[in-house]
Amino acid sequence: MRDVRDDFPILSRLIDDRPLVYLDSAATSLKPQVVIDAVTNFYTHQTSNVHRAMHLMAEESTRDYENARKSIARFFNADEHEVVFTHGTTEAINLVRRCLPRVERVVTTVMEHHSNYLPWALDAGGAVVGVADDGTLDLDDLQRKLSNGADLLAVCHVSNALGMVNAIDQIIDMAHRAGAMVLVDAAQSAPHRPVDVKALGADFLACSAHKMLGPGGVGVLYGKSEHLEAMGPWLLGGDMIEQVHFDGYEVQPPPHRFEAGTPAIEAVIGWGAAIEYLSNLDMADVQRHDSELVAYALERLTQIDHVRIVGPTDPDRRCGSVSFQIEDLEAHGVARMLSNRSNIMVRSGFLCAQPLHEALDLAPTVRASFHVYNRSDEIDALAENLEAIVALI
């Protein structure tokens, strides 16, 4: 894959005359100039609402908004009417939780992001699948939970805390054989590898723009047509209705019945630009680049005394990130030292996956995560700084 760093203007920033080393893309990714330009163009030349007016600027905005939906549908190999815009992965998951009828028996896993754990394990009282000591999903436990009866399985494609890649094809097949629908949290997989919803056979899939080089405040829920048709709206308001009368209303067909109110138009348009950017890079090449960075990070970090990798050390089982701990040092302190010493930006804490940390008896961890703009020399900088920090113990 070509070197894309010049496409990301923020990487020219110097802090105290030193370059930025951004290793926090699993939390949110940097934005290429084409995305910034798309958002700026909307504000500068065509600010207008969508689906509501007949004037030129409204037509331009609606065209670009719906073109972004087309790009996203192509990206995931979905049909346009199966692509519902939301404010992010969290809202997409909660939309399914609130609107999907006749879902009483739910299965989820302990490795989920809080956004996919709270709605199902706690709010819906679902059964929770455990993990092995290395964080691998316990497929025998999954089979037992599914065999007890399930209407829906909610599961991540890639763990945001461990970078663990789940055997999602096998998992979906297991769930479908048990008669359960499957909701896939693809927030951590879609930025790094091809995701084909038809090949997967997932019933629902959720992800966010801001992890995929796009703006914040927008995400998508993919749903099979028959499921979306069976779902009523969550929010009531403008644009999700065909007609409103004194005594009732008629909703639009999917996806618009789920997009009440004024959407994040500029964010959607910016995400469309990001999707085209990633598509032009070729997601197979993006995946190879990610795999090389993860493998190199594991190689470097496993050589440092007192650094413990959290999760599998096999790079083929990881995607996008490497999490670790330093013996006798608190995770937030490590992250702060990396930032203060060398402008290395990493995430620390429970990583929105506290139940997983508790299941593995882990204190908060440090996570270095990557995207298309990262290079091996930045991993070298991380490793060298960790060696210096360890020397202080």
Task: List the domains of the chain with CATH numbers.
Answer: 5-29+282-390 (3.90.1150.10), 34-281 (3.40.640.10)
Report whether pLDDT(134) > 90: no
Residue range 275-324, pLDDT digits in tens: 999 999 999 999 999 999 999 999 999 999 999 999 989 999 999 999 99
User: According to the model, what pLDDT value does residue 190 have?
Assistant: 98
Q: Which residue has the tokens 């809202």?
A: 91
CA of 33: how far to CAs of 42, 69, 204, in Å?
14, 20, 31
Report whether pLDDT(204) > 90: yes
Mean pLDDT over 364-383 rounds to 98
Report whether pLDDT(168) > 90: yes
Kindly name the residue from 99, 156, 207, 352 that is annotated as catalytic: 352
249 band by pLDDT with thresholds 50, 70 and 90? very high
What is the bridge-based pairing of β-strands 181-185 and 204-208? Answer: parallel
Report whether pLDDT(371) > 90: yes
Q: Is the distance from CB of 206 to CB of 221 less than 8 angstroms?
A: yes
Catalytic: 207? no
User: Of 239 and 270, which is predicted with more confidence?
Assistant: 270
Cα–Cα dist 98/101, whole Å: 8
Cα–Cα dist 226/267, whole Å: 28
Mean predicted lDDT score pLDDT of the chain: 97
Both tokens of 247, joined, read 């005594």
